Amino acid sequence: EPEVTQTPSHQVTQMGQEVILRCVPISNHLYFYWYRQILGQKVEFLVSFYNNEISEKSEIFDDQFSVERPDGSNFTLKIRSTKLEDSAMYFCASSDQDRAGQPQHFGDGTRLSIL
């Protein structure tokens, strides 16, 4: 069964550094998402992306965050200048919403640790 893949599985970065999290969504999916889960807390929506532009973003997704689909397969999340509070598990998801009610499929996540 096709799956969403995320790399790296764990990223350790110094505070203030830029970080790029990478995702390969399921190939025929059209909608892409990033979520994050701070340790011990619930999964929170960050941003949705369709047709090469952001569809919706949450309050968390400030100017330090950006997303890009640089080619036909990858979907990236960039944090320009990381802060300690950015430490979390980041999940990428994709969906084929051309049919109503299609669920989002999640990757295994990238654990981001900011030192």
Partner 1 sequence: AQSVTQLGSHVSVSEGALVLLRCNYSSSVPPYLFWYVQYPNQGLQLLLKYTSAATLVKGINGFEAEFKKSETSFHLTKPSAHMSDAAEYFCAVSDRRNRDDKIIFGKGTRLHILP
The binding site for partner 1 (CB under 8 A) comprises 4, 6, 31, 33, 35, 41-45, 48, 50, 55-56, 58, 91, 93, 95, 97-98, 100-101, 103-109
46 burial via Cβ count (<10 Å: 0-12, 13-18, 19+): buried
Q: Which is nearer to partner 1, 5 or 17 (CB)?
A: 5
Please, which residue, 53 or 63, has the CB nearer to partner 1? Answer: 53
Local structure of 86: helix, strand or coil: helix
Nearer to partner 1, 76 or 96 (CB): 96
> Is 13 within 8 Å of 112 (Cβ atoms)?
yes
